[in-house]
Structures are given as C-alpha cells and as structure tokens.
Amino acid sequence: MPRPGYDPRAPEIHADPYPAYRALREHDPVHLVPGARLWFLTRHRDCLAVLCDSRFSARQGQRLRQRHTALPVSMLNTDPPDHTRLRRAAAPAFRPRALREHERWLAPLVGRWALRVREAARAGRETDLATEFARPLAVRVLAGFLGLPDDDLADFDGWADAVAGNLDPFADPAHPGEAAMSAMHDRFADHLFARIADPRPDAFTVLARGHVEGLIAPAEAMSTAGLLVVGGVEPLGDMITNAVAALLAAPGRWRDLADADRPSARSSVRGAAEELLRIDPPIQFTARTAGEDLVIGGRSIRRGDGVVPLLGAANRDGARFSDPDRLDLGRRVNPHLSFGAGRHACLGAPLVRLFARLLIAAVHGCPVEPAPGAAAAVRRPGTVPRGYASLPLRWS
C-alpha cells in the first residue's frame, strides 16, 4: 500500500485537511517528507512532546519559510534567553487585571456587532460572515487592545490585511507585507513613545513600560506590536468563521448554543468555546528545528531536521479525544493544541478566550439561526491561518 503523503497546499487538503491527517496518523504518524529533512507529526502526544521540549528551536524552525524576513525578530522566532525577555515584556498586557479593563469596551463592541447581524437577519438580508462581521470585528478588537485611536482604523485595516500573509510559511517572496509592516511600525512608534508620558490601559503602554524598564528595545517593541497584529487579527476572525461553519455542519448545535436554557444545552460557555476552537483551528501547524539527534514516536530525527507539529491533526487524535471528529459542545476533557503548548504557547489565548465567551454569550437567546447562503463559502488561499474569504449566510 502506498504511504500517505501530506502537502498543505494541495487543493483537496486545503479544503479539508482532516482525512489526510487521519490517514497519516494511522499509517505514518511521524512522517518524513520525501527528499527533505522535514517531519510532519500528527499524534497529540508527539506534537505536545516537541512543543514542550527545549531541544527544539523556534528561532530556526520559524525560518523554514519561503521568506523568513516576513516576520521581524520577536518572541515567536527566538529561543531563550531572548524569547524569555521579549515575552516577559508583553505578558502584562494579557494578565487578568488588564483583560478586565479590556472587557469594559470589548463586551459592548461585541454586543453592537451581534445586533448588526440580528438586524440583517430581521431584514431578510444574506450576510457574508467573513467580510461583514468576522474580519472588521477582529480588526477593531486588535486596535482596541493595542490602544490605537479611531483615526488610525482605516490605515490599520489596510496594514493588517497586507501583513496577514506573513504568517504563512509559503507566502510569496513578492508579497507586499514587508512595506506594510514597516509603515505600521512607524505609526506604532508614535503611539508607543507617547505612552511613556501618557500611560493608558492598553498594550502600547505595556510595551512602553517594558522599554522604560530596559526589557525591550524600541525596534523590538515595534516588532512585538507587529506580531500581535499578524498573529492576532486573522486568527481572531477565522476563529469566528471556522466555528460558525462547524456549527452549520452539525445540525442542531447552533440551537444548543443559542438556547442556553434547554436541558440539551449542557455545555458551559467555556466548554463550548474550547470545543469550537478545537474542531477547526485557525493555526493548523507550527515549526521547530531539532537541536540534536533524538527520537520522536520511534523515528530518528537528526540535528537540524525541521519538525512540524500539525496542531489540527493533534486535535482530532482519537487516542486523546473521544469521537474526535464530532463537534461536542459538552466535551469535558479538551486538551486541544489550538494555542500550541510549551514556552511559545499563544500569549494571546486569554484575550481570545474572553472574546470567544463574549461571542457565545451574544448567541445565547439569539432568535435567529444561520444556514448556508446562496453563494458557496470560499476558503482563503494560503496555509496559515486557515479561515474563510467568504462565508455567505441566510438567516431564519
């Protein structure tokens, strides 16, 4: 029997990677790409082991890109001690106290956007969830989190769009992301320096404080803010579209979510958010490089080999999740790897979780229910993040 292969750019895998993940996990769970020293991991335990093993380098791993200059130096593509220092400078922006401050504007923002959807539904108008709701809302969430003034929103939207592809390791070397990143950094510098004298409850202030305390140089503070945009805007929007698409594909689940009083709606908001993050995560994989010869899942990995934990595959591993392909909003044990794990685990996860819970709370009691619209849904090109360019919905 031929061994199963895996190419994230293949059209059928781009459309639905899960059958290929399953085939690999069953027949070749630690898969060596023919002709390359690159391994794809599909088992939860192997992905977790690599992400938590300090012998693997993210600095080298994140260079496994067609254009590694796309991502300026930040915590994402450094190893300790730089990683520790850069992460420590940004971490206070995601602490519970900071998030309580953000919730004060985030909750009304989500409420306003949920109202827009309901109004469109009442008017019998089809909506495109991706372009009319998920992406513009994600842009506003990140702008509010950073502390950008409303005047900057239009520019920010354009930059966020242009730099978004930078996360994709297969991004075209001619992609315009670098110019946009540098324009964005210039504007961010103005805000960052202004915060030294005028602190506010926002992420710019946290980075400014990190600079004043000697933790982070100005250029590093700018690339950290840039990382929050590149790593934040698109995945936030994709979380919404992927979750709604998963709900549409599982009859009855939207009602379970909306009808919080029904006995069948046993799911807590928290549990539902985790399950919706597990089932089709925006970040399907990340990359590391082995710092020494070692063995993973019985296969010998050589020093310098690239290793790609397929997070989306780990999330469907039957050895870790019962009935893994089923969207189970009441799932009790859910150690998904949608936010990665180990020292590079998503720093933004507390903000994402807060946002996801506010969105689910907005769905509670929602009198309208989505169904696929007249036009077909379209996945966005590119491999990271995974989301929709267009997700047309009609409402009943």
Tell me which residues touch ligand HEM (CB under 6 A). 58, 75-76, 87, 145, 227-228, 231-232, 235-236, 239, 281-283, 286, 311, 338-340, 344, 346-348, 351-352
Residue number, 121 or 380, with CB nearest to ligand HEM = 380
Phi, psi of 39, rounded to the nearest 5 degrees:
-115, 140
For residue 348, the minimal CB distance to ligand HEM (Å) is: 2
Residue number, 227 or 257, with CB nearest to ligand HEM = 227
For residue 262, the minimal CB distance to ligand HEM (Å) is: 27
Phi, psi of 288, rounded to the nearest 5 degrees:
-140, 165
**Closest-CA residue to 244 (of 388, 365, 41):** 388
For residue 115, the minimal CB distance to ligand HEM (Å) is: 23
For residue 338, the minimal CB distance to ligand HEM (Å) is: 5
Contact 290, 297 (CB under 8 A): no
Residue number, 238 or 395, with CB nearest to ligand HEM = 238
For residue 119, the minimal CB distance to ligand HEM (Å) is: 26
Residue number, 20 or 359, with CB nearest to ligand HEM = 359
Amino acid at 107: A
For residue 87, the minimal CB distance to ligand HEM (Å) is: 5
Say how far apart CA 237 and CA 375 lie, in whole Å.
20
Question: What DSSP string runs through 298-354?
Answer: TEEEPTT-EEEEBHHHHTT-TTTSSSTTS--TT-S-----TT--GGGS-TTHHHHHH
Residue number, 29 or 281, with CB nearest to ligand HEM = 281
Q: Which two tokens stand for residue 124?
A: 């019998």
Residue with smallest beta-carbon separation from ligand HEM? 348
Residue number, 41 or 227, with CB nearest to ligand HEM = 227
Contact 271, 331 (CB under 8 A): yes
Contact 379, 390 (CB under 8 A): no
Contacts of 96 (CB under 8 A, 6+ apart): 350
For residue 185, the minimal CB distance to ligand HEM (Å) is: 16
Q: Is the dihedral of CA 389, 394, 395, 396 positive or negative?
A: negative
Residue number, 32 or 64, with CB nearest to ligand HEM = 64
Residue number, 93 or 393, with CB nearest to ligand HEM = 93
Cα dihedral 362/325/284/81 (nearest 10): 90
For residue 264, the minimal CB distance to ligand HEM (Å) is: 27
